[in-house]
Homo-oligomer: A and B are copies of this chain.
Amino acid sequence: MKSSQKKNKNRLEQEDIYSIPIDAFFKSAFSVDCVIFGYHEKELKVLLIQRGTDPYENYWALPGDLVYPHEDLEHAAQRVLRDLTSLPDISMRQVHAFGKVGRHPLGRVITIAYTALVEHTEINPLPSNWAKQTKWHSVKKLPRLAFDHEEILKDCHQSIKRLIISEPLWVNVLPEKFTITQLQEIFETVLDKKFDKGNFRKKINGLKFLKPLKESQKNVSHRPSTLFNFDSKIFEKYKEKGFVFEF
């Protein structure tokens, strides 16, 4: 009986719908929201803005913007990130679309969440027209957020944890030449979990796309580490063949 009630409800909705002119459908907007995680020295942060205008004025929120009428989604996400961090060409990943009817007080706005991982030193976030303030927040101590941004942030946090074990999210974080320990520390921080040094190294040495260089560290007060390289061509070949590695 419960199911027949549902069916009735649905039939009504459907009939209503036919009287809605096609224009009515073109009255919604979409936005992108960027969940930009920043890594530095074993700390994971996320970039938030403090809103300067009305819906949710003064609340902290994810940086985001409406998508321009002739702009691709990815482009919009890149733009938001670049405006705030002046970092160009960071690879971002689409995570999910959020579209609950009441999520935006000004009208029907669906938002597409994008996420990225970057280095957060020296990025003093640029002033922007949307924001009173822009600040890196530790992911372990977050303020209340505007709209449904808490849900979005949580989803994206989960997402980078899943992604980082098979996608090189860390290319935006590490310098050209890096040590295994640097890589291990990123994993430990993002996944909030310790790894055994020896075992981690064994994994790395099995991955052909992480190549040891002839060079090593300089001026460190301990045995200098071999520097490594990420070879994206080899990585792409592995991926094409459907190979899956996990850290």
Contact = CB atoms under 8 A, between A and B. Distances in A.
Contacts of A137: none
A110 B108 contact: no
Given A97-B112, A110-B30, A112-B97, A13 B67 contact: no
Q: How many copies of the shown chain assemble into the complex?
A: 2
Contacts of A68: 13, 17, 20, 25
Given A10-B79, A79-B10, A67 B99 contact: yes
Interface of A: 3, 6-7, 10, 13-14, 17, 20, 24-30, 66-73, 79, 82-83, 88-89, 94, 96-97, 99-101, 107-108, 110, 112
20 contacts: A7-B88, A10-B79, A10-B82, A17-B68, A25-B29, A25-B67, A25-B68, A25-B69, A27-B27, A27-B69, A28-B30, A28-B67, A30-B110, A69-B108, A70-B108, A71-B101, A94-B96, A94-B97, A97-B97, A110-B112
